[in-house]
């Protein structure tokens, strides 16, 4: 008797790919981000205004997506520069802002400690905020291996692997190194593994990243950060010497050192992620159950 594995939908997953940009696509993406950043800052200003008015009048005023959508509609009507952009990413900015604000208010209502609360949305500064644009299904399409976004923006995707299903949304963003990526949300498919009859206990340690009940699966510190510490300290000293005065733009030397430090941070993060994922994959494939110790006393921090 043979048993055939079945595949089932277990939610959603993200598939991220690098993209290549032409000069035209880069200019249009940056212009689209300028509009979305302006909308975010307007939402922050509106939220703060509502808070001040409600506090002064002693009444509870709302600043939800419905009010912000009306604000966006009016702004697009009277501002040609804003109306030149696609409406899909601008509407998604309002959705993201509403979720961020609702999470912060919920944490305050639940009386969480300050270090565990989500902060209220803040203004996004031009020189600090990284571009991030979200598009729903009606704002993008894939044609001949290229990604077509609303606003006549065409991106060349570096397909390192195929998409398992049609994407429901896509996020276009820039990392700290200036590289552009696209992240597709697709239905996640899972296939059950063959039973092994083994279980494993995991304790997140101090001397080791993870200590388990099976010595073969202990995860020692890979010390990726320690190997990069000397070079990172050099770049940080360069940044300290060239740090601009308050209110002054950064020099080219400061930005160059900042980019070098960011590149090194990115490399260490990728090494740690690769090590962790390989370890987790071996644990999941070799055991039917995993028990994790979540006891984290504050004095160990």
Contacts 24+ apart (CB under 8 A), 225-232: 225/268, 225/272, 228/264, 228/267, 228/268, 231/264, 232/261, 232/264, 232/265
The torsion angles phi and psi of 14, rounded to 5 degrees, stand at -105, 135
| Res. 143: pLDDT tops 90 | yes
pLDDT band at 4 (very low <50, low <70, confident <90, very high): very low
The torsion angles phi and psi of 7, rounded to 5 degrees, stand at -105, 135
| Res. 1: pLDDT tops 60 | no
> What pLDDT does residue 2 have?
28
Crossing angle of helices 252-286/224-241, nearest 10°? Answer: 160
> What pLDDT does residue 168 have?
94
Question: Rounded mean pLDDT of 88-102?
Answer: 94
Weakest mean pLDDT among 85-89, 103-107, 142-146, 294-298 = 294-298
Between residues 117 and 171, the one the model is more confident about: 171
Q: CA-CA distance, 27 to 16, in Å (whole number)?
A: 22
Residue with tokens 């930005």: 255
For the chain, give the mean pLDDT.
88
- For the chain, what is the radius of gyration of the CA atoms? 24
Global pTM value: 0.81
Question: Rounded mean pLDDT of 148-158?
Answer: 95
């Amino acid at each position: 008797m043979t048993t055939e594995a079945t595949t089932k939908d277990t939610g959603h997953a993200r598939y991220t790919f690098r993209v290549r940009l032409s000069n035209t696509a880069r200019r249009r993406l940056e212009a689209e981000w300028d509009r979305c950043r302006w909308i975010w800052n307007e939402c922050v200003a509106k939220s703060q205004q509502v808070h001040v008015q409600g506090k002064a009048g002693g009444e509870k005023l709302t600043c939800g997506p419905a009010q912000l959508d009306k604000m966006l509609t009016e702004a697009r009507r009277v501002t040609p520069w804003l109306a030149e952009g696609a409406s899909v990413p601008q509407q998604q900015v309002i959705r993201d802002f509403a979720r961020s604000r609702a999470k912060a208010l919920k944490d305050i209502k639940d009386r969480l400690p300050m270090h565990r609360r989500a902060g209220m949305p803040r203004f996004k500064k031009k020189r600090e905020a990284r571009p991030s644009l979200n598009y729903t299904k009606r704002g993008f399409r894939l044609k001949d291996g290229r990604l077509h976004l609303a606003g006549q923006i065409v991106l060349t995707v570096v397909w390192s692997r195929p998409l398992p299903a049609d994407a429901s949304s896509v996020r276009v963003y820039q990392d700290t190194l200036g590289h552009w990526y696209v992240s597709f949300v697709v239905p996640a498919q899972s296939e059950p593994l063959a039973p092994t009859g083994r279980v494993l206990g995991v304790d997140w340690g101090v001397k080791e990243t993870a200590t388990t009940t099976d010595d073969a699966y202990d995860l020692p510190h890979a010390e990726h950060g320690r190997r990069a510490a000397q070079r990172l300290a050099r770049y940080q000293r360069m940044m300290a010497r060239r740090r601009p005065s308050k209110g002054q733009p950064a020099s080219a030397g400061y930005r160059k050192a900042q980019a070098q430090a960011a590149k090194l941070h990115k490399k260490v993060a990728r090494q740690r992620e690769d090590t962790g994922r390989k370890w987790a994959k071996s644990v999941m494939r070799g055991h039917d159950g995993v028990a994790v110790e979540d006891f984290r006393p504050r004095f160990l921090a």
